Amino acid sequence: MSKILLVDDDEVFNESLKEYLEYKGFTVLSAFNGKQGLEMISTEKPDLVITDIVMPEVEGIELLTSVVIDSLVQRPKIVVISGGGRIGSSNYLSIAREIGADAVFEKPLDFNLLVKEINDLLA
């Protein structure tokens, strides 16, 4: 069974997506900011990370960059999601793609499309 780490500071969204992904058969761990997310990536070794961009302490772009730089041999697949912020979600997502995100999604999120992408990435 694939292990997914969900990193999002919106607790309601985090819990809703976690429950949905568990219902779809994934093992899901949650972190509520990028700092926790980076720590859990090191300790839990997830197969895939879903991260928001705008978060306290360590933002998603910094998390993504750290994972890409530190994981030269094997790294988890990374899906970046964003509902926007100072520069708009599409700009954040373009930056995330350039850095190395495997997939990007805008909020509000279509959970079914996300699961399809997760299955494709983990196949």
Mean residue pLDDT across the chain: 90
Angle 78-106-53 from CA coordinates, rounded to 5°: 55
Angle 29-65-76 from CA coordinates, rounded to 5°: 40
Query: Which among 72-76, 90-94, 117-121 has the top mean pLDDT?
Result: 117-121
Domain 3-122: top CATH class = alpha beta
- Scan for tokens 């992904």, then name that residue: 21
- Scan for tokens 């429950």, then name that residue: 19
DSSP category for residue 30: E
For the chain, the structural domain boundaries read 3-122
CA-closest candidate to residue 68, choices 106, 29, 44, 38: 38
- Prediction pTM value: 0.91
**Separation between Cα atoms, residue 106 and residue 112, nearest integer Å:** 14
E-only strand ranges, 43-85: 48-52, 77-82
Q: Measured in whole angstroms, how far is the alpha carbon of residue 1 from the centre of its chain? A: 18
Q: Indicate the pLDDT class of residue 117, thresholds 50, 70 and 90.
A: very high
**Separation between Cα atoms, residue 8 and residue 33, nearest integer Å:** 6
- Scan for tokens 């607790």, then name that residue: 11
